[in-house]
Amino acid sequence: MPPIEELLMFAVALAGAGAVAGLLAGLFGIGGGAILVPVFFQVFGLLGVDEAVRMHLSVGTSLAIIVPTSIRSYMAHRARGAVDEKLLKGWVIAVPAGALIAAAIAADASSFTLRLIFALISLLIAFRMIFNRDHWRIGDDLPKNPVRFLVGVLIGVLSGLMGIGGGVLNNTFMTLFNRPVHQAVATSAGVGVLISIPGLIGYVIAGWGEPGLPPLSTGFINWIAVAMIVPVTLLVAPLGVKLAHAMTKRQLNIGFGIFLILVSARFFLSLI
């Protein structure tokens, strides 16, 4: 059993991380994965977690936190009839398969590789948020299989490697093919369920027995972080929502894009 002082230090630091993540998640309307991973990376670094496993732990723990929030969000959207159930049923194999592939890649990938992937994808998402226009379209409806299936796998892989619920990626995919943004957001909650549950299992297996993990970790999942972040994030997020209502959608998109550029820059600097 680790010393109580060490456990308390983790708990306090992660509560602070949860407050920051909750505020930003509420402000930008994002599930939190893109925010939690860089916050975890910083906090685990400050607490002396081994560099070799720090990014893996950040991604895996983020996916674990997304499980309850995505299930809750999906059920609420489903009750309103806003979810594209047909798309989710078509992805019930594709997206989880992608998430498991991501965990398998992470098992052999270095911390350098995972940070590079996160930085590159964050930069692409940032440009999408800043330069996106509502009238941009690729087609009038979603593509048929096998393209649709392969998109599901790709969303699962990229989200699993980044520790995110796939909301931004799925929103982009659906809106580019003429689906209403509200339906895209609602369906993304279901995509988050398909990513986070197999992702959690995959990262537990991928990190099983790894040296250098902090106290109360199962594979690449730290349960102190999970226990501290979920309630704190839910508590603080409404403050971010209040701030968001004082801003336009365009301002929010630009703000989140700038945030991701800063996060991307931070990870690129860590690679030097």
Over residues 104-142, the pLDDT tens digits come to 999 888 989 999 998 998 898 888 778 876 667 787 888
In the chain, where the domains are located: 4-270
**What share of the chain in percent tops pLDDT 90?**
27
Pick from 257, 226, 181: which is nearest to 68 by CA? Answer: 226
Element (H, E) at 222: strand 221-222
User: What is the chain's mean pLDDT, rounded?
Assistant: 84
Looking at residue 25, its pLDDT comes to: 64
Q: Is the pLDDT of residue 31 over 80?
A: no
Over residues 241-263, the pLDDT tens digits come to 677 667 676 777 787 788 889 88
Helix (H/G/I), strand (E/B), else coil: 248: coil
Angle of CA points 89, 120, 198, to nearest 5° = 30
Over residues 38-57, the pLDDT tens digits come to 888 888 887 788 888 999 99
Compute the distance between CA of residue 178 and CA of residue 85 in angstroms, rounded to an integer.
17
Looking at residue 90, its pLDDT comes to: 94
- Position with higher pLDDT, 199 vs 236: 199
Over residues 137-159, the pLDDT tens digits come to 787 888 899 999 999 999 999 99
